Structure 1
Amino acid sequence: MNSTHYTYFTLAAYFDIGLLKYLFFVIVMIFYALTVAANVLLIVVICVNRSLHEPMSLFMCSLFISELYGCTMLFPMIMVQLLRDVHTIATSLCFLQIYSVHSYSTIEYLTLTVMSYDRYLAICHPLQYHTLMTNNRIATLIAVPWFYGFLIVLITISVSSSLQLCGNIIHKVYCDNYSVVKLACSNTSAFNIYGLFISFATIGIPCLIFIYTYMRILKVCFSGSKQTRHKAVTTCTPHLASVINFGIGGGFELIQSRFNMNHVPNILRILLSLYFFVIQPFFNPLMYGLKISKIRILCKSLLFAKM
């Protein structure tokens, strides 16, 4: 097939909804504003209250910042596309969106992995926790997901952007790397092998860490005191819920990318593809804000201080 240098991509998942596009625009804008407000609120609460300057709270703060980064790179572009009659995106903007979407998901996943390691130390090694969790180690555990996420996705995008393409139609409401790779004319076997290696390093190893840490936590809970079990449930429930929600969103995204979904209604396909990037940034601050009593109390005091 003949390859062409495309200056834009067409996002084919959008369809004509007439004046309803203004309603959807308002809904997306409100949801975006609520997501930003929830994450900013918890970041401010953690930063201004010294009692929350603990390792877990600092990791949560990093998580909320990554969610602000992810939703800010997705929502505004979706709102612009909703108001447009021709749903195209410049090639440079498409790869920028790919970079931000994939780096966000990588940073989010690795930060959740770091948080599981933190809970493992706090519950399984409580006496050595503060000795092991030094300031330098905390800074390293916060920085590594960001550095790795930005670097590995930059390398991946550099490889995929060099591919010769035989089409410019992406069947989604946003750009993603796998959709672009599927448009390549040349043999992508080498890229697929590279993708498997990166997937194991980025997804497989953290998954093993999740399994190991929670197996150890469960073992301590079953053999420990009632107080230990209560501490584990209180601090691990929001994190475990966040991990499960992340896994559900990742599963939807994997199904969307790898399997033929033409038999599924278009609106349902759009909702499934957005679940990963829309629900997670809204779900996490809500879960942590409601489940962790200290944060819940400080949020109330901050919001209703004047009253």
Structure 2
Amino acid sequence: MSQTSLNVTLMFTAFGYPRSLNYLFFAFTLLVYLTSVFANVFLMLIIYLESSLHKPMYIFLFNLAINGLIGSSTVWPKIMDYLLSDTKESSLEDCLIQAFWTNFYGGSAYTILTLMAYDRYVSICKPLQYHSIMTPTKVKQLLTVAYIFPGFSISIQVYLISRLPMCSYTIHKLFCDNLAIANLSCVTSNLVNLHGLYVIVALVVLPLCVVLLSYVKILLVSLKTSKEAQKKALNTCTPHLITFINFSLASLFSVIYNRFSLYLPREINVFMSVHFVLVPPLLHPIIYGIRTQEIRKCLTKIIRKRRIFLSAI
């Protein structure tokens, strides 16, 4: 018998039965979540407070940090709740909401990373035209697209999945995503599959191609410049390249997990299911904080001011 009501209760089986070890997992999860929130908020504060960082690249980075907070806050509080709860249940409506924000986090992160690659391309390949191309208005327009386009595309996907008749109510994962909910349906929808393919192409494949093309052009231009210019280009691109590769690997792990989770050991399942929302939000602000010279200088400046202020008290 099919069921499409949003009042359906779904069960999560990946947590297992409540046991004392869950408290250890809860403590670790809380530590990771708070560290991720602190790192992203701290990076946002540095960019916001330092006027020298009010540039397109750092404005994009500021929004990447916001994106990291969305990803972490969508998943980790719910997982911590399940770790301490005797019942691992969620309504279909709440599950769909979590699926939307999880996919929005992934889609908008790829879009923002693509904008950052484009910014590096303009900065290195068209330095004399940079300020006329990357104007404040242009940056706002690009960021608007980075949020609206993924949000609109994923909203349609979630809506289509919500209309599917359901015959199963057990999710063998730690949190909700579109594929997990779609697999509960009694039928296979060609429309859902087609739109899912569109989302992957539009929000993953296309951004990947744009980033690769940007770096190919950056490489070709850099090869024609001096060693000093090549070193400068490498220093400005390395944090973004590391971040992009890191997020791409997390996305790949997520795809592998979604397709082959039934054939993998439980421990690997758990790691791969949370890697997508664990590693990128935690590492991105750390990578940029360590690898970006301007941010390091601003951080040193803030610490020095604080020391002077405390010594004056």
Q: For the Cα contact (< 8 Å) 1:42–1:299, is it kept in 2?
A: no
Deviations 1:51-93 (A, max 9, x none): 1111101110011011111111111101101101221112221
- 1:75 maps to 76
Deviations 1:34-54 (A, max 9, x none): 111110111011011111111
**Residues of 2 paired with 1:3 and 1:80: CA distance?**
29
Worse-superposed segment, 276-285 or 139-148: 139-148
- 1:274 maps to 274
TM-score by length of 1: 0.96
Aligned-partner residue type, residue 124 of structure 2: I
Instruction: Report the alpha carbon displacement of residue 18 of structure 1 after superposing the two structures with TM.
Output: 1.4
**Residues of 2 paired with 1:194 and 1:147: CA distance?**
17
Q: For the Cα contact (< 8 Å) 2:117–2:211, is it kept in 1?
A: yes
**Residues of 1 paired with 2:96 and 2:120: CA distance?**
36
- 1:115 maps to 116
- 2:107 maps to 106
Q: For the Cα contact (< 8 Å) 1:9–1:170, is it kept in 2?
A: yes
Q: For the Cα contact (< 8 Å) 2:157–2:192, is it kept in 1?
A: no
- 2:291 maps to 291
Structure 1 residues 1-307: aligned runs within 5 Å: 2-4=1-3, 5=5, 7-16=8-17, 18-259=19-260, 261-303=261-303, 305-307=305-307
Decide whether aligned partners of structure 1 residues 303 and 185 sit closer, same or farther in structure 2, where only a CA change above 3 A counts: farther
**Residues of 2 paired with 1:77 and 1:176: CA distance?**
13
**Residues of 2 paired with 1:18 and 1:38: CA distance?**
31
Question: Match of 1:175, SS?
Answer: coil
Aligned-partner residue type, residue 134 of structure 1: T
Decide whether aligned partners of structure 1 residues 121 and 47 sit closer, same or farther in structure 2, where only a CA change above 3 A counts: same
Instruction: Report the alpha carbon displacement of residue 17 of structure 1 after superposing the two structures with TM.
Output: 5.8
Q: For the Cα contact (< 8 Å) 1:3–1:185, is it kept in 2?
A: yes
- 2:311 maps to none
Q: For the Cα contact (< 8 Å) 1:45–1:299, is it kept in 2?
A: yes
**Residues of 2 paired with 1:49 and 1:209: CA distance?**
30
Q: Identity over the aligned pairs, expressed in percent? A: 32
Aligned-partner residue type, residue 11 of structure 2: T
**Residues of 1 paired with 2:175 and 2:114: CA distance?**
27
Question: Match of 1:227, SS?
Answer: helix
Instruction: Report the alpha carbon displacement of residue 303 of structure 1 after superposing the two structures with TM.
Output: 4.5
Decide whether aligned partners of structure 1 residues 196 and 298 sit closer, same or farther in structure 2, where only a CA change above 3 A counts: same
Question: Match of 1:294, SS?
Answer: helix
